[in-house]
Structure 1
Amino acid sequence: METSAEGAAEAHGSDTAAAVGDGVAVTAAGVEVVGAEAVGTAAGAGVAVVARAPASLSPSRASDFMQCPLLYRFRVIDRLPEKPSEAATRGTLVHAVLERLFDAPAAERTAPRAKSLIPGQWDRLRESRPEVVELFAEDPEGERLARWLGEAERLVERWFALEDPTRLEPAERELFVEAELDSGLRLRGIIDRVDVAPTGEVRIVDYKTGKAPRPEYAEGALFQMKFYALVVWRLKNVVPRRLQLVYLGSGDVLTYDPVLADLERVERKLLALWEAIRLATETGEWRPRPTKLCGWCDHQAHCPEFGGTPPPYPLEVGAAEAGGAAQGRMGPD
């Protein structure tokens, strides 16, 4: 899932601090210094935080770096603020509804019940992420909000044409996973759903609220799933039997049955990617990579491709570890 779960994956496991992401941490008492490199201001909120080199890799941050190294820097190191979007927030809401539906007995997992969960989950989302209220600040009559919630209802209802929840008993929902490779590189993320057959075969399922990609782009769409499969293999020594992407926006289901060679290739790719991140962290050279996606980027004001200037680099150049160990962690736990 690529909604708010990304931040949760990066923050998971901390009892005393709320992680702001790879590189910074803020405790209830203030700023926690955790082997940091520099001090900056978090997400435009005026909160002093400590910047450090990235310490782990998730599917979304890996995709960020492949899309544009400078975007990775803005999100992971600089922690520049990004406005909530209707599409991403709707995705978070729909994911929450589909997760909670499985709390009900199998016979009660119906479309009307699922849709009835939407108002309550929307209230919970606004409480946990107050910034999403900004989406409808200029909607005094609530018309846009009503249309938006109606779109969420349609996505939830479409799911019932793709899967039958009365016949599913997920082994895990919104499962945080983390594994450390032999190189020391730590991989982490959150899997929407894990199904385990009576024979022990594992299926990893991810919900997408957008439309399925064209066939020529299917490999890119499967990258996230192969990432999760690699983590599961490293944790359990089990290659998942099936990877399944459920596209609620178009009503398509994309499946792929991985083999061990697939996961080994993904691991090599991630190690090469992490080495490139290490070098960029050490040198401070995060180059923009212009694509058609630039039109949707929140950081054009800071991007040289649009006449902007990046903020001062908050890490000491040359501070990243060198040698073999640098292929793994660059920052402390």
Structure 2
Amino acid sequence: MGTTTEPAEPSEPAASRPPAARPPSSLSPSRASDFMQCPLLYRFRVIDKLPEKPSPAATRGTVVHSVLERLFDVPAGERTAALARSLVTPEWERLLAARPELAELFPDHGDSASGGDGGEQTAGERLAQWLQGAEALVERWFSLEDPTRLEPAERELYVETTLDSGLVLRGYVDRLDVAPTGELRVVDYKTGKAPRPEFAAEALFQMKFYALVLWRLRGTVPRRLQLVYLGSGDVVTYDPGEHDLRSTERKLLALWDAIRRATETGDWRPRPGRLCDWCDHQQFCPEFGGTPPVYPLPVPAPRAVPVDQAR
């Protein structure tokens, strides 16, 4: 691995320069998942900050989350499926205004794509179909929960805490419900389908992460963790205990130690798996014949071995 990257040319506008690389200083559920999936992917996202193309699925998830958040801005009796569907297009337009690069998801320059019936779809037709898919996910939520009977204490709640070890944990909770008795329910919306049991641990780990942070912040172990899968219409619940959260904390500390060692040594190894086909960074991955960028953080020089020990 190399040392630091070359400085920007003096004539380069400051706004166009990539942000300076820094060692990671905190852990979120998504970044923890990245490292467990593939340490090299974590490096590309957190340290190198390589750009990634927006995806229709992830963008749709952002729009759906925004709709479900804003629905609670109106009185309970007005929270209808029709209103929720009507919010989809405005939320997409709001997101597009904030992130103009999302326009590349539906380019409007005369190209077309084959439709499901063998015909050709225009960019406008693909966008309309995508918005209809988002509307269907929003409408399905009404068969899983009744928003007229819910008054969330928090929506899109940013949480952050520092463990005794110094590790900073942070993230966003989709919804936090608080019962009159003070019991907490942590709710997370998923726009995909519920995973098979053998793949359910990752989503549950994310929820235990949030529960651990809330426990440290509020002194109360959440009574229930609830995953709402809008893609398949499933609701998965789990009631954690202190032993669960202490185990999660130990796992996070071990994970952070591994991240810290990789950061200091520059040794970020790829971990091939079933998700590699969807990775944006194959061109930089040794598993696909690529070469990672020069490592932008300093690493210690190799220790010299005395001649008498080298024999």
**Structure 2 counterpart of 1:29:** none
Partner of 1:327: none
Contact 1:40 1:50 in 2 (8 A): no
1:176 to 146, 151, 158: 158
Question: What is the aligned length?
Answer: 280
Matched, 1:293 2:263: no
Q: Which has the higher strand share?
A: 1
| Structure exhibiting the larger radius of gyration computed from Cα positions | 2
**Alignment correspondent of 1:131:** 101
Find the counterpart in structure 2 of residue 33 from structure 1. none
Matches within 5 A, 1:178-257: 178-257=160-239
Task: State the match for 1:266 in structure 2.
Answer: 248
Q: Which amino acid aligns with 2:96?
A: R
What secondary structure does 2:236 align onto? strand
Secondary structure at the aligned position of 1:292 is classed as: coil
Cα root mean square deviation, aligned: 1.5
- The percentage of counterpart residues that share the same residue type is 73
Q: Give the 3 Å change call, closer, same or farther, for CA 40–144 of structure 1 in structure 2.
A: farther
State the Cα distance separating 1:220 from its structure 2 match: 2.0
Q: Flag structure 1 segments of 5+ consecutive residues without an equivalent.
A: 1-36, 320-333
TM-score normalised by structure 1 residue count? 0.82
How far apart are the structure 2 equivalents of 1:318 and 1:236?
A: 41
For residue 86 of structure 1, the aligned residue among 56, 59, 63 is 56
Taking structure 2 as the reference length, the TM-score comes to 0.87
Q: Return 286-295 or 217-226, whichever deviates more.
A: 217-226
Cα separation, partners in 2 of 1:272 and 1:143, compared to 1, 3 Å? same
Correspondence 1:18-97 to 2 at 5 A: 46-97=16-67
Mapped pair 1:105 → 2:87: no
Q: Distance in 2 between matches of 1:261 and 1:60?
A: 23
Give the counterpart letter for 2:126 in structure 1: R
Question: How far did residue 255 of structure 1 move?
Answer: 0.2
List runs of 5+ in structure 2 lacking aligned partners.
9-14, 113-121, 302-311
CA distance in 2, matches of 1:126, 1:47: 23
Q: Larger relative CO (CA 8 A, sep 6+): 1 or 2?
A: 2
Instruction: Indicate conservation of the 8 Å contact 1:194/1:205, yes or no.
Output: yes
Write out the 4+ residue segments of structure 1 that deviate beyond 6 Å after TM superposition.
37-41
Q: What does residue 312 of structure 1 align with?
A: 294
Cα offsets for 1:271-326 (capped at 9, x unmatched):
0000000000000000000001100100000000000000000000149xxxxxxx
